[in-house]
Structures are given as C-alpha cells and as structure tokens.
Chain A
Amino acid sequence: MVKSVSSLTQSGVRDFLLQRVSAAYMAIFLLGFVCYLFFDPITDFYSWHLLFESVFIKAAVFFFFLSLMIHAWIGVWMVATDYLKDNILRLMFLILVMGILLVSLVWAVAILWGR
C-alpha cells in the first residue's frame, strides 16, 4: 500500500479521527465561550485581559488553537490532494500551508504567555 508521506498521521483512519476530535473540541469550546460572553458580556479591556490571566482559560485557548491547526492541516491537505494534481506544485503549496500553521501556533502561544 502506498502511503502519502505528507498526510498528518500517514493513516486515513487516524486523520479522520483527529479531524473529528479536533472539530468536536473546537465546537464545544466556541459554544461555551459564546454562551459565557452572552451571559457576562465583556466591554472593557481590563475584564477581557483578566479573563485570559487564568491558566485554565489559557490552556483551553491553547488547545483550541492546537485543534485548529490540526483540523486546518488535515482539511487543506485533503482539498490539495484532490485538486492539485501536479506533485511539485502541491508540495510547495502544502509546505506554505504548514509554514502558516506553525507560525500561527507560535503566534497564539506568544499572545497567551508572552505578555
């Protein structure tokens, strides 16, 4: 069996499961966050800043961004393997996507812990 070297886990079933798990986490996180803001609307900088001081919130937001990067990589990889038939072009595109995702993850960590 030929395995795709650029897929996240080299296994379609594992990619599939990770895609579902990351989606479920993000959906639950976003619903919880929107509900929280709905019942306790934040309009000033200090309470917004205070909210992200909590280690619990920081970890939850970090896992959100980690899920986002995993989910986006698997999704973009699937779309790219379907539509970009030229190997060199697809590889270049996927390297660019991976670069954007890794920089984004570091950026998210810098926002959460680098202040």
Chain B
Amino acid sequence: MAVEVQPPRKARPVNLNLMTIHQPVTAVVSILHRLSGMILFLCIPLLLWLFGASLSSPDSFASIHTWLSKISVKFMIWVILSALIYHGFAGIRHFIMDFGFGESLKSGRIGACLVILFSLIFAVFLGIRLW
C-alpha cells in the first residue's frame, strides 16, 4: 500500500499553555486524582496526631472532640474527607478499567462523569452528616 507523503505544513498552530487548552473531562478527573492524592499525603501527620491524641488520655480525647466541633475545623475535615471520597471513586474507576471495562473514548468519558457525580453526592451527604 502506497503511503502518501504529505509535505510538512508551515506555521502549525502551537499552543502549549495548558490554561488555554480545553481539557476533556477524563483529563480533569485524572489530574484531580493526583491533586487529591497529594492533599491526602500531606494530611498523614494530621491523621496520626488525631489518632494518637484520641487514644492517649480521656482529657486529650475530650479536647480533640471539642476541637473537631469547631465550624472551621469541621469545614477543613469536610474538605479532606471529600478529597478522600473523590480519590476513592477515581481509584475504583482505575480498578474497573484494569479489568478492561470503560476503556473506550465514550465509556471513559461516562466513567469520568460518574466519578464526579458520585463524589459530589457523597461529599454533600458527608457535609450534611458533619453538620
């Protein structure tokens, strides 16, 4: 089969500024998976501090309880747990794709939209529960 050799086009549009490129939903889901993972990594010391203080004495358990009841702390915990929820759903999508489902362009987009949808629903429910 003859391969048509096209002459190189001059003045190709070059656009490497990521901020001006419209990202597909799959790309957004992927970068948010990384971002939420980094946020969760940074929260490991906070988790260990809370875990240790809650177990060390009744007084520190009570002070943790009081601290967690503050509205600003509750909001911070909500943000962290929402990142965990999102990271979890995006991870489940990875598992499903590892088994060969949802790998086409269309089903990949549907899966990415479902990750965002489920995360939003669970984050709202968590917010109501924490309130």
Contacts and interface: CB of A to CB of B under 8 A. Distances in A.
A81 to B, nearest CB: 12
A72 B98 contact: no
Interface string A81-115: 00000000000000001001100100110110001
B131 interface: no
B90 to A, nearest CB: 11
Nearest to B65: A43
B65 to A, nearest CB: 9
Given A20-B95, A27-B91, A75 B37 contact: yes
Contacts of B57: 45
B99 to A, nearest CB: 11
Interface string A41-75: 00001101100100000000000000010001001
A107 B52 contact: yes
B17 to A, nearest CB: 16
Contact of A75 (B41, B61, B62): B41
Contacts of B54: 45, 48
B34 A115 contact: no
Contacts of B55: 48-49, 52, 111, 115
A100 B38 CA distance: 13
Contacts of A46: 58
Nearest to B88: A27
A45 B52 CA distance: 12
The residue among B45, B56, B91, B95 with the most chain A CB atoms within 10 A of its own CB is B91
Interface of A: 20, 23-24, 27, 45-46, 48-49, 52, 68, 72, 75-76, 79, 97, 100-101, 104, 107-108, 110-111, 115
24 contacts: A20-B98, A23-B91, A23-B95, A27-B88, A27-B91, A27-B92, A45-B57, A45-B61, A68-B44, A72-B37, A72-B40, A72-B44, A75-B34, A75-B37, A79-B34, A79-B38, A100-B44, A100-B45, A101-B44, A104-B45, A108-B48, A108-B51, A110-B52, A111-B52
